[in-house]
Amino acid sequence: MKKETIVRLNKSFEGSSYQEDGVEYWFARDLQLLLDYDEWRNFSKVIDKAKIACENSAQRVDDHFVDVNKMVKLGSGSEREVNDIMLTRYACYLIAQNGDPRKEQIAFAQSYFAIQARKQELLEERILLVERMQAREKLVATETELSQIIYERGVDNQGFGRIRSKGDHALFGGHTTLQMKKRLGMPENRPLADFLPTITIKAKDLATEITNFNVKRDDLHGEVRITAEHVKNNKDVRVLLAKSDIKPEELPPEEDIKKLERRVKADKKLS
């Protein structure tokens, strides 16, 4: 998520909050628009799920979801009474957690409401952290799919390891997986992607997604043909990165993804 987007969304969420007796709250119909839900009936279903999550966390629903009525102006200039809900920060957090994180508004809200100290730099840091974790999870899923696809086409687990290694060799400009681990100063027994920056993780994922697609579309069989396909796709992705002056092998390592996962879990417990 771009910094400009984070700043814009932060202002929108901040500008929609209210204070009463020292308690910060949002109106559900305002939050509906902030989270980009077109219809109230769809958004109310998400609210119902959040209420269940609230109960399951041993919290009183009435403390966080307060039904209210308010008057809204119609296009004709007249007013109409509508049902609304006053939501605490915790209620908003639960609603965001039950939304689709692929929507940038919801992805932002999940971090926004999870962080009690609303400093801009903390929001940016946590969002980037979560994005890296999501990219890593996506790569695991894509590589698992490749492993399953090629197993059906005569390639065993050792063959899959060789294919993936040769893909790394192509993506990292002739550096092997082991050489990259040494360059990054990481343990040899850990997956390389656990210490890669988000851009490189996504690059590996894109190349593997293309391999999965082409292996199925062209009905490729055998380690030799599938290796050639995977190497080609990694080279193509490397060329794409080079157009933006990005060399994957020269990027510095990131913090161990496992440590980040533990940090996010700890943040959720404190929310």
Contact indicator for 106, 99 with CB cutoff of 8 Å: yes
Domain residue spans of the chain: 3-114, 129-270
Please report the pLDDT score of residue 239 as a whole number. 98
Judging by beta carbons within 10 Å of its beta carbon (0-12, 13-18, 19+), is residue 158 exposed, middle or buried? exposed
Tell me what pLDDT residue 123 has. 58
Percent of the chain, pLDDT > 90?
A: 58
pLDDT bin (cut points 50, 70, 90) of residue 241 is very high
The whole model's pTM is what?
Answer: 0.59
State mean pLDDT over 187-195: 94
CB atoms within 10 A of CB 196: 25
CB atoms within 10 A of CB 230: 27
Best mean pLDDT range from 11-25, 84-98, 157-171:
157-171
Residue 32 pLDDT > 90: yes
Q: Are 96 and 116 in contact (CB under 8 A)?
A: no
* Angstrom distance (rounded) from CA 171 to CA 165: 10
Task: Name residue 73's beta-bridge partners.
Answer: 79
Q: What proportion of the chain, given as a percentage, has pLDDT over 70?
A: 92
Q: Is the pLDDT of residue 44 over 80?
A: yes
d(CA 209, CA 214): 9
CA–CA separation, 66 vs 51, rounded Å? 11
Mean pLDDT value of segment 15-24: 81
Lowest model confidence (mean pLDDT) among 99-108, 175-184, 219-228: 99-108
Least confident of 166-170, 222-226, 258-262: 258-262
Rounded Cα distance between 111 and 135, Å, is 16
DSSP 164-219: HHHHHHHHTTT--HHHHHHHHT--TTS-GGGGS-HHHHHHHHHHHHHHHHHHHHTT
CB 146 within 8 A of CB 216: no
Give the model confidence (pLDDT) of 53-83 as tens digits.
999 988 899 989 999 987 667 666 667 788 8
- Can you give the pLDDT at residue 120? 44
Give, in order, the Cα–Cα distances in Å from 254 to each of 78, 173, 251: 57, 20, 9
Q: Which two tokens stand for residue 236?
A: 């193509």
pLDDT higher than threshold 90 for residue 46: yes
**How many whole angstroms separate alpha carbon 149 and alpha carbon 208?**
12
pLDDT band per the 50, 70, 90 thresholds, residue 117: very low
Contact 157, 163 (CB under 8 A): no
Handedness of CA 162, 166, 167, 168 (dihedral sign): positive
What mean pLDDT is predicted for residues 95-117? 80
